[in-house]
Amino acid sequence: MIYENGRPHRNETLYRDTIARNPGGSLAYVNLAWLYWQQGRHSEGIELIRTLIALRPDYAPAYNKLGGFYASQDRFAEALAAYRAALALKPGYLDVYNNLGLLYRRQGLLAEAIAAYQAAITIQPDYGPAHNNLGTVYYAQGRVPEAIAAWQRAVRLDPYSAPGRAAQANLEIVRDRLAR
């Protein structure tokens, strides 16, 4: 994404111009929708993604983005439908499985969250975000040794990524609690 910090109007113009020149250019829609979302213009972001889906109903990332927008508004049924549509188009879409896990976890559906994270890990065993999130669910269930193992794996896979750093922080918190 081309984005200049502190210059959202310029970015909006750039994305709108790109869409005008290439109405089927998916990335400009996604970037503009994300910009709107960051500005609190949620309905505009959702409508832009819906427009993209109408133009490119085969573009799985649009459904994933729509699911994320809905999930952040606690519109769980709509988020689930969007994520399922993304997976129907792209069955091995790791980010969608991870996002499904997050959606289920927010609803307290921990078994479903575990299944979603494990699906991502089955597809790509070195997918760190799923290991980190799986650890969080295990911990919530009181399965501390399994949580520690999942977080350790996330850290080993990529200690400098956001999921790796989150897993490291979780490990430190749990180790501190266990030491007391």
In a shared domain, residues 87 and 99: no
Mean per-residue pLDDT of the chain: 93
Q: Structural domain of residue 86, as residue ranges?
A: 1-91
The residue among 7 and 125 whose pLDDT is bigger is 125
| pLDDT confidence bin for 8, thresholds 50/70/90 | low
Helix spans in 22-75 (H): 26-38, 42-55, 60-72
Is the pTM above the cut of 0.85? Answer: yes
Does residue 73 share a domain with residue 8? yes
7 has pLDDT over 60: no
Same domain, 7 and 81: yes
Q: Using the predicted structure, report yes or no on whether residue 88 has a pLDDT greater than 80.
A: yes
Q: Determine the pLDDT at residue 134.
A: 98
**SS3 label, residue 84:** helix
Same domain for 106 and 148, yes or no, is yes
Domain count, the chain: 2
> Could you say which of 91, 115, 142 is where a domain stops?
91
Please state, in angstroms and rounded to a whole number, the distance separating the CA atoms of residues 124 and 130: 10
CB contact set of 71 (below 8 Å; sequence gap of 6+): 79, 99, 102, 103, 106
Q: What is the CATH number of the domain that holds 113?
A: 1.25.40.10
Percent of the chain with pLDDT over 70: 95
> Do 24 and 102 sit in the same domain of this protein?
no
86 plus 1 within the same structural domain: yes
Q: Which tens digits make up the pLDDT trace of 22-61?
A: 988 899 999 999 999 999 999 999 999 999 999 999 999 9
pLDDT in tens, 153-169: 999 999 999 999 999 99
| pLDDT > 80? residue 120 | yes
Mean pLDDT value across residues 8-28: 86
Q: How far is CA 111 from CA 26, 70, 140, 141, in A?
A: 34, 22, 11, 10
CA torsion 71-77-81-84 (nearest 10°) is 80
Query: Is 12 in the same domain as 75?
Result: yes
Domain final residue, candidates 42, 74, 91: 91
